[in-house]
């Protein structure tokens, strides 16, 4: 007889959420996404009621796009890399809970709207200003050590796990969370991005910026890409302080 387990899912719409359970056969290499797909094929709950299929978001299924973020047994992570067997073994339980993130507006079931994160990336100008209208030859060389730091920072997939775990990201606070701060570090390290570093730093000087970080370090603990977020926050904190001192002795730059 095949081994069975239960997915207990916090589903519903804004203002009307409820727990619903589904019993499933454990298959080899099954992950949370393939378990949800099994439910979609035959959405019958443990009460033997045929219900609406569960809604969730996914994309690449290889922990690169950041879209299948959810709380798996209460931990913010990507559903695509959440393998069922090890989770059952670790929890010593036959039940796995799935819930949507709480720091983003709920769309439905396990799907939330992460627009806020992308808006914050726009706000801090997380890009390199470039003019590709003509070939200007190779850019400045970047040391191996810098390349390694930049590569790690560039793996951020805007999944939102860091914001979900951060106590400073809440309804009372405007804090934009650690990911955009870390992206400022990435683009301020880039030899071309450096030219516009002060613009990015100024965007982090408000109530939604770096001063709202309480240094609880939860963000670093949950980042699926192991991005050194607290290191980024310290590095950018220093850059913001130096920028503030420079501002005291110069005319403000135009945005
Ligand atoms: S920093 Fe890590 S946890 Fe935060 S959005 Fe990027 S990949 Fe996700
Ligand atoms: S260090 Fe703590 S307060 Fe700062 S961004 Fe990370 S989780 Fe939030």
- The domain that contains 155 carries what CATH number? 1.10.1060.10
Pocket test for ligand 1, best of 177, 178, 185, 230 (most atoms within 8 A of CB): 178
| Boundaries of domain holding 156 | 114-128+139-248
Q: Phi and psi (nearest 5°) for 61? A: 60, 25
Alpha carbon of 218 to ligand 2 centroid (Å)? 6
| Distance of alpha carbon 22 from alpha carbon 2, whole angstroms | 16
Looking at the structure, do residues 100 and 37 belong to the same domain, yes or no?
A: yes
Looking at the structure, do residues 107 and 168 belong to the same domain, yes or no?
A: no
Q: Among 67-71, 101-105, 135-139, 197-201, where is mean pLDDT lowest?
A: 135-139
Looking at the structure, do residues 161 and 219 belong to the same domain, yes or no?
A: yes
Pocket test for ligand 1, best of 101, 153, 166, 223 (most atoms within 8 A of CB): 223
pLDDT at residue 255, as a whole number: 54
Asked whether the beta carbons of 160 and 69 are under 8 A apart, the reply is yes
Q: Phi and psi (nearest 5°) for 210? A: -65, -25
* CA max distance for the chain: 76
Residue at 255 is within a domain: no
Looking at the structure, do residues 118 and 95 belong to the same domain, yes or no?
A: no
Could you please report the per-residue DSSP string of 105-147? Answer: -EEETTEE--HHHHHHHHHTT-S----TTS---------HHHH
Confidence of residue 143 (pLDDT cuts 50, 70, 90): very high
**What's the number of domains the chain is made of?**
2
């Amino acid at each position: 007889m095949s081994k069975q387990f239960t997915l207990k899912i916090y589903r519903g719409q804004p203002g009307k959420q409820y727990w619903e359970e589904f019993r499933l056969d454990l298959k080899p290499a099954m992950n949370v996404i393939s378990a949800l797909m099994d439910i979609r094929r035959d959405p019958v709950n443990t009460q033997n009621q045929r219900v609406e299929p569960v809604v969730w978001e996914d994309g690449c299924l290889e922990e690169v796009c950041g879209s299948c973020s959810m709380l798996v047994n209460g931990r913010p992570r990507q559903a695509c890399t959440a393998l069922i067997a090890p989770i059952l073994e670790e929890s010593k339980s036959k039940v796995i809970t799935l819930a949507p993130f709480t720091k983003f507006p709920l769309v439905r079931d396990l799907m939330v709207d992460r627009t806020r994160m992308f808006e914050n990336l726009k706000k801090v100008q997380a890009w390199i200003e470039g003019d590709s209208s003509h070939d200007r030859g190779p850019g400045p060389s970047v040391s191996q050590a810098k390349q390694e730091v930049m590569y790690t920072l560039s793996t951020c997939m805007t999944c939102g796990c860091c914001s979900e775990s951060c106590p400073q990201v809440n309804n009372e606070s405007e804090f934009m969370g650690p990911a955009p701060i870390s992206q400022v570090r990435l683009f301020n390290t880039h030899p071309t991005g450096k030219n516009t570093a002060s613009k990015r730093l100024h965007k982090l000087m408000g109530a939604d910026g770096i001063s709202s970080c309480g240094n609880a370090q939860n963000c670093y603990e949950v980042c699926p890409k192991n991005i050194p977020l607290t290191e980024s926050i310290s590095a950018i904190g220093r850059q913001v302080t130096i920028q503030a001192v420079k501002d005291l002795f110069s005319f403000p730059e135009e945005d």
